[in-house]
Amino acid sequence: MLQIDLISIFPDYLTPLNLSLLGKAQERSLIKIAIHDLRDQTKDVHHSVDDTPYGGGAGMVMSPEPWGKAIDAITNEKDQVDLIILTPAGKRFNQQMAMEFSKKSHLIFACGRYEGIDARVGQYYAGKNNFKVHEVSIGDYVLGGGEVAAMVIIEASTRLIPGVLGNPESLKEESHSISSDDLILVEYPNYTKPANWRGIDVPEVLLSGNHGQIAKWRLEQAERRTNQLKQE
């Protein structure tokens, strides 16, 4: 069972995690997702979680102590934890990382907002022997916060856990199309009924019943698409 904790100042923003595939995976006890409000760890009347940056500059930085308290509250020394800090300055998430995360037992997602989390939070937990800290980004653009990024990572990772997907055959097909460096999902185009839709026919080879020919055609199509993506 994979335990997933998320810490955020907008816990409601993460409620889609209880829907669909992930909702079912939780019902089946394949994963357990818990969402925590960072502000629960503050005592002042304003429940403040941020402050001005040392050294000056625009924006606010998230204070370390609420993060420390929130993480400590959901872990113990015996727990092997992977702490994932969402930041546009992190390592770019890919299918290989999804595969790695899917095999873990306890993932904690720290969803920062503003100009990010005080750098000592990652440094402190990286120094603990039962923690592994990952700074992760989902691409070269800036989001308002880590919540959506955390959901992307959780969706990509949990569907790789045996039993989460309804049809495990689709995982097997995917795994053949991942190159060593990164995800190159060179899927061939897919068609279903009707055979003619708005004047457009399904490629004839797919109706032929010749499995050798079909496999050859699909490979050609996948390669054509890969080369096209490289040129863009």
| Contact set with ligand 6GU (CB under 6 A) | 86-88, 136-139, 141-143, 145-146, 149
d(CA 67, CA 208): 60
Least Cβ distance, residue 204 to ligand 6GU (angstroms): 43
CB-CB contact of 144 with 96 (8 Å): no
The CA-based angle 151-154-158, given to 5 degrees, is 145
49: closest CA among 38, 57, 59? 38
Least Cβ distance, residue 136 to ligand 6GU (angstroms): 6
User: Between 61 and 206, whose beta carbon lies closer to ligand 6GU?
Assistant: 61
CB neighbours (10 Å) of residue 188?
A: 19
User: Between 75 and 137, whose beta carbon lies closer to ligand 6GU?
Assistant: 137
Q: Going edge to edge, which strands form the sheet with 81-92?
A: 31-37, 2-8, 106-111, 81-92, 131-137
User: Between 114 and 124, whose beta carbon lies closer to ligand 6GU?
Assistant: 114
Q: What is the CA radius of gyration of the chain?
A: 22
3-state class (DSSP) for residue 135: strand
3-state class (DSSP) for residue 227: helix
User: Between 92 and 224, whose beta carbon lies closer to ligand 6GU?
Assistant: 92
* Burial class, 114, CB count within 10 angstroms (exposed 0-12 / middle 13-18 / buried 19+): middle
User: Between 54 and 141, whose beta carbon lies closer to ligand 6GU?
Assistant: 141
Least Cβ distance, residue 97 to ligand 6GU (angstroms): 12
User: Between 158 and 186, whose beta carbon lies closer to ligand 6GU?
Assistant: 158
Least Cβ distance, residue 144 to ligand 6GU (angstroms): 7
List the structure tokens of 213.
């020919």
